[in-house]
Amino acid sequence: MSLRAPFFKTLFHHRFMPAVLLLLFTVASRFQTFGNPLLNIDEEFYLFGGGRILHGDLPYLAFWDRKPALLFVLYAGFHLFGPYRVLAYQIGAALAVWGTSLLLYKMARTLTSRGGAVVAAMLYCTGLTLCGGEGGQTPVFYTLLVAAAMALVLFKVVLAPDGPRQVRRVGMLAMGLFGLSMQIKYTTVFESCFLGLYLLWYAARHGQTRRGLCADAALWVLPAVLPSAAVFLFYAVIGHAHDWFFANVDSIFLRAAMPPAETAALRTRLLKAIAPLLAGGAVAVWLFRHAPGQAQRQFLSLWAVAACCGVAVFGGWYFHYALPLFAPLAVISSPLWNRKAGRLWLVLMLAVQTATAQKRLHNHRLENGDMRTYQAYLAAMPDPKGCLFVYEGPPVLYDTSHWCGLTNHPFPGHFNEQAEIHSTGMNPSAELDHVLAQKPRYVVTQAPAWAGENLSIRAHLFQTLTQDYREVYRHQGPQTAVVVYQRAP
């Protein structure tokens, strides 16, 4: 091969080189996080919940949360690795990201060259680490299923010569993938509805009768709802249908709004994080609106719109709620590679986002700690028989011998968040009294109080801490501190 060949043409010449590059980039973008048990309280709780399932405890009964049951089953699989369970879920998450990036690469190749497709897939990888997806947040796993469903329809229906003959079968497979994704998090319902409506439109456009469309709709809805229906049926058989329904449906709508200032600040952060890709995607769709490949361009652009609608409805809670946007936005931005200015924009965006994300990971480790911090927590709680209550702090500390089941609401936010006061099925004040009456040996809190905290519950707790407990360890981050208290003799 000539040395004068363009760099990217040389780099991507070999068939498996894009897959290798994406694997290396995925590992490099997450390298700071491997082995750190203190990445995020959500995935710490999922791992704890997975461990409780292995001990025979059931979600919504022995430990309460509103996440779907399959998510905890997934983490139960990671928990089987014992002392290596943290690394196991992080490697599993990295493999899910790599798999998703390969699917995005394949889809982007229908719009641009290998170089543009690889850069688009890399933008997805680094976008996750930019917005809190460096570990095992739910979108890291369910986006793999969503991307697989979209790729299946794109290549087997939209771009296939025999697409009209395959649409019913492919639709069932794709909606089955969405059914599984909704058992990781229900917010994929927006993209699921989009795909179902698109398939109905496609079938109607290619001559399907009204009766046939009704049959198709029934066949596509069935695999989408089957996983959730199976879980509900299990809880109904054991006499806890109401517990399942309250956790998975009612409690979602009972959450109160976050403080207006907190919500506004969060939405501003979300918009700043996705603005470069959002703008790039919009420009790419406009620039190439008359270019060849309108069928796949239309399909992928509508996917991006559906994902944006889902985030617009549910995105007012946490920063990582932006994660589902990076996959479709990266794909529809990929045609920018076909223009010189667009290539510069994509490369610049990749470089800036990668550097910003790595700096964020470094700062996050300083704030939350790492394996050494985790070991210091455990060293401060030397009595393995001493029960632990995490009012505010890392739930991964429950995933030790200190778990005593003082409450069936172990997720800290269900106690300390003002927005959760009427949405979890328990009275936080009464449940706190119940926990403190059992005289836990250790209590973990955070200082100072955060903007959305239930200050009356905090005051209630600290009244007891002041009287009966003493501080034994403090991890001081740049902005907050996590404090371990031990019950005084």
Closest-CA residue to 485 (of 467, 475, 472): 472
User: Which of helix, strand or coil describes residue 476?
Assistant: strand
* In the chain, % of residues over pLDDT 90: 79
Q: 96: which residues sit within 8 A by CB, 6+ positions away? A: 140, 141, 143, 144
Tell me the DSSP string of 375-412: HHHHHT---TTS-EEESSS-GGGGSSTT---S-S---T
CB distance 66 to 248 below 8 Å: yes
pLDDT confidence of 293, banded at 50, 70, 90?
confident
**Distance, CA of 248 to CA of 236 (rounded, Å):** 14
CB distance 139 to 185 below 8 Å: yes
pLDDT, greater one: 279 or 268: 279
Kindly report, residue by residue over 104-123, the tens digit of the pLDDT: 999 999 999 999 999 999 99
pLDDT higher than 80, residue 315 = no
Give residue 316's pLDDT. Answer: 59
pLDDT higher than 80, residue 258 = no
Give residue 217's pLDDT. Answer: 95
* Mean pLDDT of all residues belonging to the chain: 92
pLDDT higher than 90, residue 414 = yes
Distances (CA, A) of 138 to 133, 144, 377, 408: 9, 10, 26, 22
**Distance, CA of 67 to CA of 86 (rounded, Å):** 20
Q: What sign does the CA torsion over 386, 391, 392, 397 have? A: positive
Closest-CA residue to 397 (of 412, 409, 407): 412
Q: 7: which residues sit within 8 A by CB, 6+ positions away? A: none
pLDDT (average), residues 406-427: 92
User: Which of helix, strand or coil describes residue 183?
Assistant: coil
Give residue 271's pLDDT. Answer: 84
Give residue 401's pLDDT. Answer: 83
- Asked which of 6-20, 182-196, 222-236, 257-271 is least confident by mean pLDDT, the reply is 6-20
Domain boundaries, the chain: 7-366, 371-487
Assigned token pair, 471: 């501080």
pLDDT (average), residues 252-277: 81
pLDDT higher than 90, residue 313 = no
Q: Is 485 left (phi over 0), alpha (psi -120 to 50) or beta?
A: beta
Residue for token pair 């207006």 = 260
**Distance, CA of 257 to CA of 144 (rounded, Å):** 30
Edge-to-edge strands, sheet with 481-487: 388-390, 442-447, 481-487, 469-476
**Distance, CA of 112 to CA of 148 (rounded, Å):** 19
* In the chain, % of residues over pLDDT 70: 96
pLDDT confidence of 291, banded at 50, 70, 90?
confident
Residue for token pair 């609106």 = 289
pLDDT higher than 80, residue 475 = yes
Kindly report, residue by residue over 210-249, the tens digit of the pLDDT: 999 999 999 999 999 999 999 999 999 999 999 999 999 9
pLDDT confidence of 2, banded at 50, 70, 90?
very low
CB atoms within 10 A of CB 99: 17
pLDDT confidence of 1, banded at 50, 70, 90?
very low
pLDDT higher than 80, residue 317 = no
**Distance, CA of 155 to CA of 148 (rounded, Å):** 11
pLDDT (average), residues 49-65: 96
CB atoms within 10 A of CB 355: 11
pLDDT (average), residues 359-372: 94
Give residue 226's pLDDT. Answer: 96
- The 8 Å CB, 24+ separation contacts for 378-385 are 379/473, 380/472, 380/473, 380/484, 380/486, 381/441, 381/442, 381/472, 381/484, 381/486, 383/441, 385/441
Give residue 203's pLDDT. Answer: 94
Give residue 8's pLDDT. Answer: 52
Range list of H helices, 2-67: 7-11, 17-30, 41-54
pLDDT higher than 60, residue 296 = yes
Q: 50: which residues sit within 8 A by CB, 6+ positions away? A: 72, 73, 74, 75, 76, 77, 78, 79
pLDDT confidence of 126, banded at 50, 70, 90?
very high
pLDDT higher than 80, residue 412 = yes
pTM: 0.93
**Distance, CA of 443 to CA of 464 (rounded, Å):** 11
